[in-house]
Chains A and B, each alone.
Chain A
Amino acid sequence: MKVDLYNAIVSAQMSRRKMLKGSASLGAVAAMGGLGGAASAAAHGGVRAEIMKIPGVGMGSPGDPEWQKVGELCMGPVKERVAEGEFKGVELTFMGLNNQNLHNFLFRGFLKPWEAYTGAKINWIDLAQADYNPRLQQSIATKTVDFDIIEMGAPFEGDTAGQGLLNEMPGWVKDQIEYDDLVGYLQPPVGTWDGKAYRINIDGDCHTFCYRKDYFGAGSITGRMNPPNTWQEVNQISKDVAGKTDPLTGLPAHGFLDPLKGWGGFGMYFLTDRAGPYVKHPDDPAFLFDIDTMKPRINNPGWVQAIQDVMDLIKIEGAYPADQINADPGTTGFQQFLAGTGSMLTWWGDIGSNARTSDTSVIGDVVGFSAIPGSDRVYNHGKGAWENNYNEAPNNAYLGWGVYVTNRVEGDAKKRKAAWSAAAHIGGKDISLWTSAYPSGFQPYRNSHFNYDEWEAAGYDRAFVEDYLGSNLDTYNHPNSLNEPRIPGIFQYYSVAEDELAKGYAGLYGSAQETADAIAVAWEKITDQIGRESQVKLYKAALGL
C-alpha cells in the first residue's frame, strides 16, 4: 500500500514544496519510500544505510524483531566505550510511556542487544500518558523516586532539574551522541537547564498547519487559489465555508478545527498556535509571562484576540462540527481531520505521518502542510499597542521528548555509567535516523537527519526529500519560534487555563476578556503558591538569561 500512496503523491498536481512545507514526521517518508524496493537500494554498506532498510517497503509496521535488529546494528558507539559484560549485576529502572504500545516498547527492543552485551538488566515502568505527570510529581514530592532513567518531556525540566533530581550529562556521553549535531532550537538555552546539559534528545516537536488541498484552488468552495497565510484568513475561510458541502465526503464542510476541550494541559498548545503571531514579538523573548515579575500576559489584547477568534467561530452556526465543545485535540486530529471532517488544523507531526500511512485516514491524497499561519498585526507588549506588520511565530510545542538520568545513580559510578550508556544508546545518531524514518512517535531533530545523500542512497526520491526535509528544518530554525518556559508546574498553568477556557467557550463568562482575566487570576495564584521569586529565577534560567 505504501508504494501506491507514494506514487500517488509523487504524481500529485500541487507542487511538493507547498505540499509538505514544514511538515511532519518522516514516518510518512519511510512508508512511502524505498521506491523500487530492494532492487534500487544502494549497494554500499554503512550502518545507516543498513538500518534504513529495516523493515523496508511493503513489510508493514515495524515490530519487536525489527527494533531489536536496529538496536543491534547501532551498538557500535556503545561497544567503543563499554567492555562486554562490564555492567554485570547492575539493575536499572526505566520509566516512560507506553502509548499505543510504542515508546517503552520501542526502547525495550533497542535495549535488548545492549542488555545482552553489557550484562545489565533493565526493569520497566510503563505509564499511560494521563498518569505520567501526576506520578512523576508524587514520586518527587514524597521522595519515592524509584527509577534511574526516565523518558520525559522537556517542559517538565522545571520540576525535575529545578529540584535537583537529574544527573548531569558526562562529557563522554556528549561525545557519543554527538551533541553538536542537534538542530538549532535544541542547542542551548533550550538544550540546557541553567547552563548544564541533562537531556539526551530523542525527538523534536513542533506544530504545523495541515490543510485540505481540495478546499483551495480553482472552483473550490472557498473560492481561494491558495491556502491561508494568516489567521485572519483562516477565520474568514471558516466563516465562508459554513453551510457548504465537503468535496470529499459529501458531508457538511467546516473550516478550522479548534479543540474546545482540554487534554490534560496539552490543549493550551493549540491556543498558543493561534495566539503566537499576535503575542510573540520578534524583539521580546517572553510571551506567557513578564520576565521580571512573572505577571501573566494571558489577558493582554493579543491573547484576548486569539480567544475572541475562537468565540466568534463558536457563535456561527455550522462553522464547527456538532459537539465541538466536547472535542479535545485527539478528537480534532484523529477523529475529525483524518476522517475527512474540517479543512484546516494545527497539530504535531503525527497527523502528517498518519495521513498517508494509516488506514484511519481518508485524506491521504488531499492533505497539505505548511508552517503555522502568521498574522497581519502583532501586539507589542512592551509598548502596549498593536503594530500592523506581518508576524510569524511557529510553535515548538512540547519541545520534544528526552531521556534523562536521575540522581539515584549518584555515588555508584558503575551504575551511573550504565544508565548513561543505555540512554546514550537510544539517543545515538544512527538509531535516531531510524526513529525519524519509521513510525515511532519521534520526529527528526538532528542536522544529520537532513543529509539528502543518505536518503537518496536508501532509495528515496531526492527532490522530494530535499523539499520535505528542508522545510522541516526551516521551522526548527525559525528566529521567532515559540519555546515554552520550562518552569516548575508549567502544566498546572495549562490545566487551569483549560478549565477556564472551557467555561468561557460554554458561555459562562461574558466575554473573551473576562475569560482571560479569570485565567490570569488563577495563574497568579499558582505562581504565588509555588513561590514567585523561585519562579522568576527559574524562568530566567530557562530562557538562558
Chain B
Amino acid sequence: MSIEEGDKLHVVTADDISDNKKRLGKFLVWGSALILALILFIQTLDTNAYLSLGLETWRPSLYAYGLWAFCLCASQVLTRGEHGKRVLFVLPAALFVISMVVFPLLFGLVIAFSDWNLSSPDGRTFNGLDNVRQMWGDPFYWNALKNMVWYTLVIIIEYVIAFGLAILLNSHIRARKFFRVAFLLPLMLSPVAVSWMIGKSMLEIRFGPISRFLRWLASEPSADLPAILFYPGMYISEIAQWFGWASPSFFGSAGIARAMIMAMDAWTFIPFMMIMILAGLQAIPRELYEASEVDGASRWRQFLEITFPLMLPVSITAVLIRIIFKLKLADIIINITSGGPGGATDSVTSFIFREYRDRSNVGYGTLLAIVYLVIIVIAMTILIKLADKWMKPRY
C-alpha cells in the first residue's frame, strides 16, 4: 500500500528510519509468513493422512495467521515510519474483512456453481452454468425482483415523511427528548417481534385493534347521537364503507398485502433516516435563515433554497443506506405472508431463504444470492456515481 501526495493531512516531520529497523521489519514479515506457510503445510499433510499428528482442528493455522497479521502491521511501522503509521489505521480493518470474507466467498462461489441438494446422497456436484440457466427461467425469482423495484420506490415516500418529521422535530417544541426517544423506538424492536406482534396480532382480522377501529369507522353511527356528531359520522362511515373497511382485509389481495408490508418496514426504518436528517438540520447555521428572512423569502422558498440543498449530502447517504437495508428485507415477509398471495409480496431474500432453508437447495440458493449481490453492487455504484455528479455543481 502506498500513500500518494495529496493527503489531506500533511506530514510535518521527516522520518529517519535506520537500516536496522527496516531489516527488522522485513524480517518480521517474512519470518512470520514462513511460519504460517510451514504450519499450513504441516496441517495439510496431517489432514491428508501423510502425517499423523492427531491435530483436530485448524486452530494452529489460525494462530499462525494471527501472528503473521500482527507482524505485517508492526513491520509497516518499522519499515516506513510515519507513513507506516498511517497505513496502520486502515490495515487492521481491511485485513479483518478480507480474511473473514475471502475464504467463504470463494467457497460460496464454488457452491453457487454446483448442484447441491442437502438431502441428496451424492453431495455436491459441479454443474457449471446450469444453475444460471435455471435462474434465468425461474418465474419466482423474476417476480421477486419486480417486487423489489416496487419496494425500493416506496423509499421516496419514506424519505419525505422522515424529512417532514425531522423538520418538525427541529422547530421549537417542548418535550423534545420525549419525542426523540419515542421516534427512535421502532428501530429497536427485533424483526421477529415486529412481524408477530404487529403483523399477526395487531393486524388480526377479527379482533385486532386496527380492524376493529376500521370497522367502527365504517359502522353507521347510532341514531341517538346529537346532530353535530351524527352527520359527520355518517359521512365518515360512507367513505369507510367505500374503502371496504366494513370487512377489512389486510393481506387478502396482492396490492394491499404489499402495502401492508411496506408500511411495516417503513415504520421500523423511518426513525433511522429521520435521525440522520435531523442531525443535519441542526448543523445548518441560523444566520442563513435570518438573512433570507431579511431578504423577504417565504418559508417555502427558504426550504427550497437553503434547507434542501444543504441537506442533499445527508439525504443521499441516508437514502443509500436505506436502500441497502430495504433490499435485504426478508423477516417480515417470511413470517407474515410467506411470499404473499401468489408471490405478490415475495422479496428476493425471502425467496432465497425458502429455496435455501425449506428446500435445502443450497447450490441454487447460493447462486441466486450471488447474482443478487452483483445486481445490487452495480446498482449502488451507478447511484453513487450519479449522486456525486449531482452534488458537485452545487458547490
Contact = CB atoms under 8 A, between A and B. Distances in A.
Question: Of A137, A141, A496, A529, which is in contact with the most chain B CB atoms at under 10 Å from its CB?
Answer: A529
Contacts of B207: 339
Given A261-B338, A339-B206, A499-B140, A323 B358 contact: no
B28 interface: no
A326 interface: yes
A440 interface: no
Nearest to B343: A503
Contact of A262 (B206, B257, B338, B356): B338
Contacts of B362: 141
| Chief secondary structure at chain B's binding surface | loop
B342 A529 contact: no
A507 B341 CA distance: 9
A506 to B, nearest CB: 3
A489 B358 CA distance: 10
Interface in B237-269: 247-252, 254, 257
A523 to B, nearest CB: 11
Contact of A321 (B121, B205, B257): B205
B118 A502 contact: no
A489 B338 contact: no
Contact of B121 (A134, A162, A499, A503): A162
B119 A489 contact: yes
Contacts of B43: none
A163 B360 CA distance: 15
A326 B119 contact: no
B152 interface: no
A176 interface: no
B119 A507 contact: no
B252 A325 contact: yes
Interface residues of A, number: 45
Interface residues of B, number: 39
Question: Of B115, B116, B338, B362, which is in contact with the most chain A CB atoms at under 10 Å from its CB?
Answer: B338
A324 B358 CA distance: 23
Nearest to A538: B121
B336 to A, nearest CB: 8
A534 B249 contact: no
A526 interface: yes
A488 interface: yes
Contact of B360 (A323, A339, A492): A492
B266 to A, nearest CB: 20
B115 A529 contact: yes
Contacts of A503: 342-343
Contact of A138 (B118, B204, B249, B336): B118
A502 B342 contact: yes
A316 to B, nearest CB: 15
A141 B252 contact: no
A508 B343 contact: yes
B120 interface: yes
B338 A328 contact: yes
Contacts of B140: 499
Nearest to A320: B252
Contacts of B344: 506
A506 B256 CA distance: 14
Contact of A158 (B119, B123, B336): B119
B343 A529 contact: no
Nearest to A509: B342
A322 B359 CA distance: 30
B358 A261 contact: no
Given A322-B252, A339-B206, A265 B120 contact: no
Contacts of B117: 489, 492, 526, 529-530
30 contacts: A134-B357, A137-B119, A137-B360, A141-B116, A141-B123, A141-B360, A261-B337, A322-B252, A323-B252, A326-B337, A326-B341, A328-B338, A341-B206, A488-B120, A489-B117, A489-B120, A492-B359, A498-B338, A499-B140, A502-B339, A502-B341, A506-B254, A506-B343, A507-B342, A526-B359, A529-B361, A530-B119, A530-B121, A531-B120, A534-B121
Interface of B: 115-123, 140, 204-207, 247-252, 254, 257, 336-344, 354, 356-362
The 4 residue pairs across chains A and B that have the minimum distance between CB atoms: A506-B342, A489-B119, A326-B251, A134-B357
Interface of A: 131, 133-134, 137-138, 140-141, 158-159, 162-163, 251, 261-262, 264-265, 321-326, 328, 335, 339, 341, 488-489, 491-492, 495-496, 498-499, 502-503, 505-508, 526, 529-531, 534
